Amino acid sequence: MAEDPAPAEASGRGPVAEATGGGSAAEAPGRGPAAVPPLPSDAVLGEWMALALAEARSALSTGDVPVGAVVLDRDGTVIGRGRNERELHRDPTAHAEVVALREAAAATGDWQLPGATLVVTLEPCVMCAGAILAARIPRVVFGAWDEKAGAAGSVHDLLRDRRLQHRVEVVAGIEADECGDLLTRFFREPGRGLGYDAGDR
Ligand SMILES: [Zn+2]
């Protein structure tokens, strides 16, 4: 994935630092409004999470930890799908979120996804939170908490770190039981090393 070494402000693309949970309507010059999209109903969020869960289940076929993600544009159209592919590709960076972000960026032809929502079955880790920030995603919806490695409110809260230029609205706990159970069952299988303990929030 190509990187843009230039700071956002110097690139002329404009920061979307105000695209936070407050729903402010910061303008990204040349890019149109960069506001957080309207929050969908719980029913719609559940439908989106069902798509992410389907991705997570597909990861089981390659022995990967079942985590899945989808990226939706402002209109709710899926523009990226991903599931954990670390084992499949022997790639430590092939987390569901990164895979989905790459697909969404390829689909839109833009590394910035300012109107998009990323939906993932498990709280993003530090790496994925970094990728989400880099993509200027304004909202993340996740299922289960990850008390061991979460970077969206558990161990860290990078997505809402006020020291950073871009901040992300976080909607947690959507279909959390189903998302967590999938992981718990996976790690209960014989021979699995590291476990998963869902946070109770
Ligand atoms: Zn991750």
pLDDT tens readout for residues 116-125: 999 999 999 9
Which of 125, 72, 59 has its CA nearest to residue 101?
A: 72
Residue 149 Cα to ligand 1 midpoint, Å, equals: 9
- Looking at the annotation, which residues are catalytic? 97
Contact yes or no for 83/96 (Cβ under 8 A):
yes
pLDDT at residue 27 greater than cutoff 80: no
Tell me the two tokens of residue 110.
């833009």
Task: Please give the distance, rounded to the nearest whole angstrom, from the Cα atom of residue 101 to the centre of ligand 1.
Answer: 12
Residue 152, SS3 per DSSP: strand
Ligand 1 centre distance from Cα of residue 93 (Å): 8
For residue 199, the model assigns a pLDDT of 58
Q: What confidence tier does 198 reach under pLDDT thresholds 50, 70, 90? A: low
Please state the pTM of the whole predicted model: 0.82
Mean pLDDT of 172-200: 86
Report CA(120)–ligand 1 centroid distance (Å): 10
Give the best-scoring range by mean pLDDT among 1-15, 18-32, 173-187. 173-187
Provide the CA 31 distance to its chain's centre, in angstroms: 22
22-26 long-range contacts (CB < 8 A, ≥24 apart) are 23/169
Per DSSP, the three-state class of 188 is helix
